[in-house]
Chain A
Amino acid sequence: MTAWLYAALMPVHGLLSALALAALAHPVVLLRRAEAAGRARTVALYATMLLAALNGIGWGLYPSYRQAVKPRLRLDVPTAAVVFETKEHLAWFALVLAVAGTVTLYARQDPRAARVSLGLALGCGLVAAGIGVYVAAADWVSATG
């Protein structure tokens, strides 16, 4: 991946993650009432599609990150380089759990199970996003400082 494409996709990745998490929170809140499962179904599908796109972009960025950014981070902010790995793990958890919750909703089964799965996805996604913000800030400080 070229440097300019990496620089262009990084903010897209960050903004899309905020959008995906907001979309994922929606069905988790809606499913407090079982009768809202119909509305939650569509939003959960969109949220899962956003998460899939987000993971796809992340997987595209990852090789460039490991080559260009990680060596510098390991020297300047080792903690950021270490916790970035956690972000990748939790992003994967969020994707598969969101898929599981959405399929459960579309199968018209117990909405509590779907809510738990989507809630776990949201929790993993929120932690991953927090780590992402920290790593981006550490990268910026490392590059400019």
Chain B
Amino acid sequence: MSGTPPARGARVAAGALVFGTAACVSYALQRLGAVADDPALVFAQAHIPYFGRIAMAAIHGGMAGVVVAGVATDPARVVRTAAWWAPALVLPAAGAMVAYP
């Protein structure tokens, strides 16, 4: 990506940052949803739901990233402000995964 024009680079970076954050939030929401359905069952599940969650989180993150990269009117601002919105979304998701394994 060396030589990437600034505007395109901002779109790529904004999309990547949104992908990373959305993939974490999607994963946490899916897991919390499964725990809310049946806490005893979710702990005893086979491995397949875990891989399914990862795949869905990657798809959700990718979709959110593509949408933001494509339609954001000021992608550079999305990147500049990531220093506060990324932790604001990721830290509660990570905290929830620690609190509700």
Interface residues of A (CB under 8 A from B): 59, 62-63, 66, 82-86, 88-90, 92-93, 96-97, 99-101, 103-104, 106-110, 112-114, 116-117, 120, 123-124, 127
CB B69 to nearest CB in A, in angstroms, measures 10
CB B33 to nearest CB in A, in angstroms, measures 14
Given contacts A90-B94, A103-B12, A117-B82, contact A83 B101 (CB under 8 A): yes
Option from A66, A99, A108 in Cβ contact (under 8 Å) with B46: A66
Alpha-carbon separation in the docked complex, A114 to B19 (Å): 13
Q: Return chain A residues, CB-CB under 8 Å to B43.
A: 82, 85
Option from B10, B50, B80, B87 in Cβ contact (under 8 Å) with A88: B50
Alpha-carbon separation in the docked complex, A115 to B59 (Å): 24
Closest chain B residue, CB of each to CB of A124: B94
- In the complex, are the beta carbons of B50 and A103 less than 8 A apart? no
- In the complex, are the beta carbons of B13 and A104 less than 8 A apart? yes
Chain A CB within 8 A of B66 CB = no
CB contacts under 8 Å to A, within B53-101, are: 54, 57-58, 61, 76, 79-80, 82-83, 86-87, 90-91, 93-94, 97-98, 101
Question: With A106-B1, A109-B9 given, can you name 14 additional A-B contacts, CB distance below 8 Å?
Answer: A86-B101, A93-B24, A93-B27, A93-B97, A96-B23, A99-B20, A103-B16, A107-B16, A113-B79, A113-B83, A117-B17, A120-B86, A120-B90, A127-B94
Q: Return chain A residues, CB-CB under 8 Å to B13.
A: 103-104, 107, 109-110, 113-114
16 contacts between A and B (CB under 8 A): A85-B43, A89-B28, A93-B90, A96-B19, A96-B57, A99-B16, A100-B20, A106-B1, A107-B10, A110-B79, A114-B13, A116-B83, A117-B20, A117-B86, A124-B94, A127-B98
CB B96 to nearest CB in A, in angstroms, measures 9
**Most B CB atoms within 10 A — which of A66, A84, A93?**
A93
Alpha-carbon separation in the docked complex, A107 to B9 (Å): 5
Q: Return chain B residues, CB-CB under 8 Å to A96.
A: 19-20, 23-24, 57-58, 61
Closest chain B residue, CB of each to CB of A81: B43
Alpha-carbon separation in the docked complex, A6 to B99 (Å): 29
Alpha-carbon separation in the docked complex, A85 to B20 (Å): 20
Alpha-carbon separation in the docked complex, A50 to B82 (Å): 25
Alpha-carbon separation in the docked complex, A104 to B83 (Å): 12
